[in-house]
Structure 1
Amino acid sequence: MPVLDEARIDDEEAIAALDSRQTLRSLAMAGAQVRQAIDLTADAGVQRVGGGDRPRSVLVASLGGSAVVADVLELLAEPGSPVPVHVRRNLPLPGWVGALDLVVAVSQSGRAEGPLALAAEAARRGASLLTVGAPRSPLAHLCAQARGIHVDIPAGLTSSRTSLWALLTPVVIAAGALGLVDADPGVLARVADRLDLQAGLFRPGSESFVNPAKLLAAELADGVPVVLGDGPLTGVAAARAASMLARTARMPATWGELPDAASQIVACFDGPWTDAAEQAAGRPPGGDIFADPYLDAPASPRLRLLMLRDGGAGAEEVAAARLLADAVVQTAQDAGVRVSQHSSDPGHPLERLAGHVALTDFAATYLAIGLGMDPGLSPHVADLRERTRD
């Protein structure tokens, strides 16, 4: 079982020594990213995208650490967008995309093959193009050739995992200008304020017993994380959390969204990492308190359910979601599964999402540091890139 060193995540010098890419600092700058992105988006003239006319449809291309950008736009547009919004990670570009459509390609480096290839094919077909990424990158160059709109990301961002709000903000502003989502400048200002507030709560100098992100990191360290959202908004947050836990904390994590994922998640409570398996093997639930970790077999990992709840949906949605989420939590507890829960504060959907994302982003980073790993560097990812480089 992994052991999280709580003393390490309360020691600012130890944190700084392990966090070579300043991941925590980048996460703390999320609110600033929103404000900088607003200015950069205005400078790029994003209101001119597609000639200012509403497109027939929108296709968003993003993957890896940027993948959540497409998921968020789809989430925000779904309730009221007059045109369909689609998500695509890589080629082929759907055959129906043409001159009446808008393709949004997002890549922090401006070099990700999927978004770059989709943008190139969209330009060839005469579709309108909006790109977000590094200045003077291949993506920016392609967009200029296609006479699209490219929005630069702020300088100094080194990872798509910690650049979420710099990448997302221009896309939300463009979608708002086209009437696809309900997100005026005031919404983004409140999102920035909420991210600033969260960064203060989760700062490295805040002791573990009063820091919600450090507390969650300690809870997630004791098992195999299963992240479950109680609806569409928290489903997006759950997918982001699972990605951050795997990529940043190197913890294998699965995720789901209610109601669809209820059965598959609850079925895991009968599996090998719960009290049910211990009882079936004739062992006491919760393990043998007299077991010697040096002489006996190591303790098997245990499931840890992280339930993300949406605290601002409509009354009927809240009632239905709460009933099912409560039932899943009770079933988990009855099966001996450890449970952590987090509910968003009220506000615009983007504000509520920001609260969940900030908590789980910081928690995944503290978890990596508490386990003695650099949250910004993975030797095996570096090896993979080397082996697949042309």
Structure 2
Amino acid sequence: MPAFDETLLDDEGRRHAVDSTDMLRALAGAGAQVRRAITLTDEHDLTRVAAGDRPRAVHVAAVGGSEAVSSVLDLLISRTSPVLLTADGSGPLPGWVGTLDLVVAISLSGRAEWPVRQAQEAGRRGAHVLTIGAPVSPLADAAAAAHGVHLSIDPGTGHSRTALWSLLVPALLAASACGVVDIPRAVLLGAADRLDAQAERFRPDAEYFVNPAKSLALDLAEVTPIILGDGPVTGTAARRASAMLARTARVPTTWGRLPDAAAQVVACLSGPLAGGATEGDGRDIFADPYLDGAVEGRLGLLLLRDPVPTASSPGSEMERHNTAQSVADHAEATGVRVLEHSAAPGHDVERFADLVSLTDFTSTYLAIGHGLDPATAPGLAGLHLPRKATE
């Protein structure tokens, strides 16, 4: 991979030449996506979702960039709801799904093969069906055939990696309508405000020293990152960040959530990619990436953190905070560079919005800095994948 060229991010003409679909602009519209999705969803009768009753269980069928919706629903439902949620959009509908259950099938284009098939099969079994995607599509047809509900997205929305909020907001509103989870509308509007504020911070014409996304991209260009969340919300954000770095920036990553992943992360910190021949953060301050080539293979730890617990916080939050700090301290002691970013206090959805906005912009800046179009990847078209499997 070519050395990271930070001047590509500051030169508008060269930046647009690499970012051919203006992915940065699409990400900057995340807050507007939330508000537009609320407006579009309000046009539908959500009392029809699961016939207005709370379903026994929810199964989510989504693939590619839409999978993040499954992760967020799982985060929220598992913490506050007695309803079971499963997610798998790349195979047949689970055998246990029946008339008491809700199947949520999501596809930006409405043509992703397995979500469409699962929605059709759910209808045949008499399950409740909710679909989210393009207004005129096989997915919408599957919902109609099942006498379910189809929530249409804005036809002008880009690809699924930049359309997270267009897909997530209808799912949250529908889940709230049928009693699966309680997400007040004010929380979604608060998340929209945060996304707007983050887009302003991460705008392309903001200098590195005031643009955390550009700075983080520059830092990640020097390491092979492990992305670690210190709790449920940050762990979900870490999973999204890992997917975005791989798909958008073509950077291989692994991710985990504390405390579950503490042992494997600490083990990696004493492995062959940890540390280096130099002291401090493992970087040679005299190395010139243009003359000597980019440093490759050195491990870095990107730690996504919740706000520091207060005296009134549950003891489990303080335990997670302390575990995260001990992992960070151990990483630094072994010469692994530690990059930490924290969400501002707020609802789970708002904190998720904070962190995802940062890592979405960072992934895009990282791709552009390496001269890679963030919207496309050579070779994907030649893979033998199910039809529209990446949407």
TM-score, scaled to structure 1: 0.93
Query: SS of the residue aligned with 1:78?
Result: helix
Kept after mapping to 1: 8 A contact 2:9/2:204: yes
Kept after mapping to 2: 8 A contact 1:273/1:300: no
Give the structure 1 partner of residue 155 of structure 2: 155
**Structure 1 pair 198/298, CA: closer, same or farther in 2 (3 Å)?**
closer
- 1:284 Cα deviation from its structure 2 partner: 11
Give the structure 1 partner of residue 307 of structure 2: 311
Give the structure 1 partner of residue 29 of structure 2: 29
Give the structure 2 partner of residue 332 of structure 1: 331
Structure 2 gaps of 5+ residues are none
**Structure 1 pair 79/312, CA: closer, same or farther in 2 (3 Å)?**
farther
Give the structure 2 partner of residue 118 of structure 1: 118
Does 2:254 match 1:271?
Answer: no
Of residues 306-315 and 158-167 in structure 1, the stretch that sits farther from structure 2 once superposed is: 306-315
Query: SS of the residue aligned with 1:379?
Result: coil
Aligned counterparts of 1:165 and 1:319: Cα–Cα separation in 2: 30
Aligned counterparts of 2:2 and 2:237: Cα–Cα separation in 1: 25
Give the structure 1 partner of residue 256 of structure 2: 256
- 1:295 Cα deviation from its structure 2 partner: 10
Kept after mapping to 1: 8 A contact 2:112/2:387: no
**Structure 1 pair 94/206, CA: closer, same or farther in 2 (3 Å)?**
same
Aligned counterparts of 1:264 and 1:386: Cα–Cα separation in 2: 31
Kept after mapping to 2: 8 A contact 1:3/1:222: no
Query: SS of the residue aligned with 2:226?
Result: strand
**Structure 1 pair 290/62, CA: closer, same or farther in 2 (3 Å)?**
closer
**2:231 alignment partner AA:** G
Aligned counterparts of 1:59 and 1:270: Cα–Cα separation in 2: 39
Percentage of pairs with the same residue: 54
**1:161 alignment partner AA:** R
Give the structure 2 partner of residue 196 of structure 1: 196
Query: SS of the residue aligned with 2:174?
Result: helix
What's the CA shift string for 1:67-126, capped at 9, x where partnerless?
010110111111221322222223232222111111001111111122112111111101
Kept after mapping to 1: 8 A contact 2:3/2:293: no
**Structure 1 pair 102/298, CA: closer, same or farther in 2 (3 Å)?**
closer
**1:236 alignment partner AA:** T
**2:302 alignment partner AA:** L
**1:107 alignment partner AA:** S
**Structure 1 pair 155/344, CA: closer, same or farther in 2 (3 Å)?**
same
Aligned counterparts of 2:289 and 2:12: Cα–Cα separation in 1: 31
Query: SS of the residue aligned with 2:26?
Result: helix
Give the structure 1 partner of residue 379 of structure 2: 380
TM-score, scaled to structure 2: 0.92
Query: SS of the residue aligned with 1:306?
Result: strand
**Structure 1 pair 100/331, CA: closer, same or farther in 2 (3 Å)?**
same
Kept after mapping to 1: 8 A contact 2:109/2:133: yes
**Structure 1 pair 297/214, CA: closer, same or farther in 2 (3 Å)?**
closer
Structure 1 gaps of 5+ residues are none
Kept after mapping to 1: 8 A contact 2:31/2:192: yes
**1:374 alignment partner AA:** D
**Structure 1 pair 299/345, CA: closer, same or farther in 2 (3 Å)?**
closer
Runs of 4+ residues deviating >4 angstroms: 287-300, 385-389
Aligned counterparts of 1:388 and 1:60: Cα–Cα separation in 2: 19
Kept after mapping to 2: 8 A contact 1:242/1:255: yes
Give the structure 1 partner of residue 8 of structure 2: 8
**1:307 alignment partner AA:** L
Kept after mapping to 2: 8 A contact 1:131/1:143: yes
Give the structure 2 partner of residue 350 of structure 1: 349
- 1:315 Cα deviation from its structure 2 partner: 3.5
What's the CA shift string for 1:30-68, capped at 9, x where partnerless?
111111111111112223112111111111111211101
- 1:17 Cα deviation from its structure 2 partner: 1.8
Kept after mapping to 2: 8 A contact 1:131/1:139: yes
Does 2:365 match 1:366?
Answer: yes
CA RMSD of aligned residues (A): 2.5
Give the structure 2 partner of residue 72 of structure 1: 72
Kept after mapping to 1: 8 A contact 2:23/2:374: yes
- 1:13 Cα deviation from its structure 2 partner: 2.2
- 1:388 Cα deviation from its structure 2 partner: 7.8
What's the CA shift string for 1:212-231, capped at 9, x where partnerless?
10011001000101100011
Kept after mapping to 2: 8 A contact 1:58/1:103: yes
Give the structure 1 partner of residue 144 of structure 2: 144
- 1:381 Cα deviation from its structure 2 partner: 1.5
Aligned counterparts of 2:284 and 2:305: Cα–Cα separation in 1: 34
Query: SS of the residue aligned with 1:270?
Result: coil
Aligned counterparts of 1:331 and 1:154: Cα–Cα separation in 2: 46
**Structure 1 pair 8/99, CA: closer, same or farther in 2 (3 Å)?**
same
**Structure 1 pair 201/296, CA: closer, same or farther in 2 (3 Å)?**
closer
Correspondences of 1:156-171 after superposition (within 5 Å): 156-171=156-171
Aligned counterparts of 1:101 and 1:312: Cα–Cα separation in 2: 39
Query: SS of the residue aligned with 1:225?
Result: strand
2:297 to 287, 301, 306: 301
Of residues 344-353 and 18-27 in structure 1, the stretch that sits farther from structure 2 once superposed is: 18-27
Give the structure 2 partner of residue 49 of structure 1: 49
- 1:157 Cα deviation from its structure 2 partner: 1.8
**Structure 1 pair 188/302, CA: closer, same or farther in 2 (3 Å)?**
same
Aligned counterparts of 1:345 and 1:296: Cα–Cα separation in 2: 39
Query: SS of the residue aligned with 2:42?
Result: helix
Kept after mapping to 2: 8 A contact 1:31/1:195: yes
Give the structure 1 partner of residue 183 of structure 2: 183
Query: SS of the residue aligned with 1:365?
Result: helix
**Structure 1 pair 211/291, CA: closer, same or farther in 2 (3 Å)?**
closer
